[in-house]
């Protein structure tokens, strides 16, 4: 049952997004450009397990879908999936419906529904996407627990929440605007006006102004973005410690962060063998905390949880790797070329042997194709080379030997 406070906060959040539907990306009459691998089921599943999923005919929930920007991608990137989008805001849902209708994203249904009430949905879902939502709920733990009940066994829950250290200046400005609004707090158009005037009055050397110009100015020229960032009625910002309190409360398993490069200790302290040795005596979560303390630029956490069993592939065994069927990763920009952008939009430069092997791999989603053994026969390409491509998410492997539960 929703408490009076939860209902009041939810109503305030809905009012914000009725006033300023978010995200404010333009509506287009064609599929959206590019990709986000986290919204592409085969890529997300391979990232988490090391192998392709057994089926792409799945059910997806976009929990807190807003104006349908992510929903639209979920539909277009997963042509065999049925997608459901829910949100509190009727005004924002109207934009989401129009967005998906115009771009031909026709395998989606929308409902005006709180995440707290997600139990009203009949289905359980293989992939739940919850981006930028839990931190705007009065009780995020109750929210994540509600979502966990709707995750199917072997399913993935993709979450994005704010990080306190990287949003410190934002938090200060939020508090300042609220003070200046006084009794007008909750009038979001007034909040945007006050915030704009305040930024205009502050010296250019002001730390908050400088941070906004460095990181947010391109987005925040739109009132929808400015309101979402600076006059939101409810926000919880996390540290690693409080983040894992949220994760532990879900009852699900933590698969990992979806930006592993940031969480690499070697990136920060690898030049000192002694510091690295000391850091490696810490537990995994302590290492995460050390990283965010030393590099407090992270403005959000993006991670994936799962409901067991989630089978894992171990490609260290030659037999299983030789019999696997490799396909090129679906999320690559600029292929075919020896230089292109990978699943995470990072520049990749291939050697001649790597390019040759990748060229002979099957197109994404094709399973009736050559095995690794057949592709490397009569070549100098080794199994370690194949493992390297798989670790870098340049190929997706479909096992023909059962995976480990």
Same domain, 121 and 104: yes
pLDDT in tens, 198-219: 999 999 999 999 999 999 999 9
Is residue 156 in some structural domain?
A: yes
Same domain, 302 and 157: yes
Same domain, 251 and 372: no
Please count the structural domains in the chain.
Answer: 3
pLDDT in tens, 222-241: 999 999 999 999 999 999 99
Same domain, 138 and 116: yes
pLDDT at 400: 86
Same domain, 159 and 216: no
As beta bridge partners, residue 303 has: 159, 257
Q: What is the pLDDT along the chain (405 residues), one digit of tens a residue?
A: 568 888 999 999 999 999 999 999 999 999 999 999 999 999 999 999 999 999 999 999 999 999 999 999 999 999 999 999 999 999 999 999 999 999 999 999 999 999 999 999 999 999 999 999 999 999 999 999 999 999 999 999 999 999 999 999 999 999 999 999 999 999 999 999 999 999 999 999 999 999 999 999 999 999 999 999 999 999 999 999 999 999 999 999 999 999 999 999 999 999 999 999 999 999 999 999 999 999 999 999 999 999 999 999 999 999 999 999 999 999 999 999 999 999 999 999 999 999 999 999 989 877 778 999 999 999 999 999 999 999 999 999 999 866 655
**CA pair distance 205, 325, nearest whole angstrom:** 57
C-beta separation of 255 from 304 below 8 A: yes
Its domain, for residue 77, covers 4-164+237-262+298-306
First to last CA, the chain: 36
218 φψ region: left (φ > 0), alpha (ψ -120 to 50), beta (else): alpha
Same domain, 226 and 153: no
Same domain, 208 and 90: no
pLDDT at 405: 59
As beta bridge partners, residue 333 has: 341
């Amino acid at each position: 049952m929703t408490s009076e406070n939860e209902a009041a906060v939810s109503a305030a959040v809905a009012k914000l997004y009725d006033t300023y539907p978010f995200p404010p990306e333009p509506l287009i009459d064609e599929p959206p450009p590019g990709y986000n691998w986290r919204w592409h089921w085969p890529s997300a599943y391979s990232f988490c397990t090391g192998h392709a999923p057994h089926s792409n005919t799945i059910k997806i929930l976009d929990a807190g879908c807003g104006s349908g920007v992510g929903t639209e991608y979920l539909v277009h990137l997963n042509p065999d999936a049925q997608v459901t989008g829910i949100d509190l805001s009727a005004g924002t849902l109207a934009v989401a419906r129009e967005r998906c209708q115009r771009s031909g994203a026709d395998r989606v249904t929308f409902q005006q529904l709180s995440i707290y009430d997600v139990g009203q949905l009949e289905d359980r879902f293989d992939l739940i996407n919850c981006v930028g939502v839990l931190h705007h709920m009065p009780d995020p733990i109750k929210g994540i627990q509600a979502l966990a009940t709707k995750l199917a066994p072997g399913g993935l829950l993709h979450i994005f929440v704010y990080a306190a250290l990287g949003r410190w200046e934002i938090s200060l400005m939020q508090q300042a605007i609220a003070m200046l609004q006084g009794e007008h707090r909750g009038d979001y158009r007034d909040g945007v006006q006050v915030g704009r005037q305040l930024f205009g009055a502050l010296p250019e050397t002001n730390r908050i102004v400088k941070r906004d110009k460095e990181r947010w100015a391109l987005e925040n020229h739109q009132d929808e973005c400015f309101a979402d960032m600076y006059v939101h009625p409810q926000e919880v910002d996390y540290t690693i410690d409080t983040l894992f309190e949220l994760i532990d409360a879900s009852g699900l398993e933590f698969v990992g962060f979806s930006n592993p490069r940031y969480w690499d200790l070697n990136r920060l302290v690898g030049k000192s063998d002694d510091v690295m040795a000391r850091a490696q005596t810490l537990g995994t979560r302590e290492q995460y905390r050390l990283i965010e303390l030393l590099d407090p630029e992270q403005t959000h956490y993006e991670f994936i949880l799962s409901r067991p069993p989630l089978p894992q592939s171990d490609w260290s065994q030659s037999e299983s790797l030789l019999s696997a069927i490799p396909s090129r990763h679906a999320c690559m920009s600029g292929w075919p070329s020896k230089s292109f952008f990978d699943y995470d939009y990072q520049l990749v430069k291939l050697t001649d042997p790597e390019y040759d092997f990748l060229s002979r791999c099957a197109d994404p989603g094709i399973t009736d194709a050559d095995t690794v053994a057949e592709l490397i026969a009569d070549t100098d390409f080794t199994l370690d080379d194949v493992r390297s491509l798989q670790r870098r998410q340049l190929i997706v492997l479909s096992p023909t030997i059962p995976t480990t539960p």
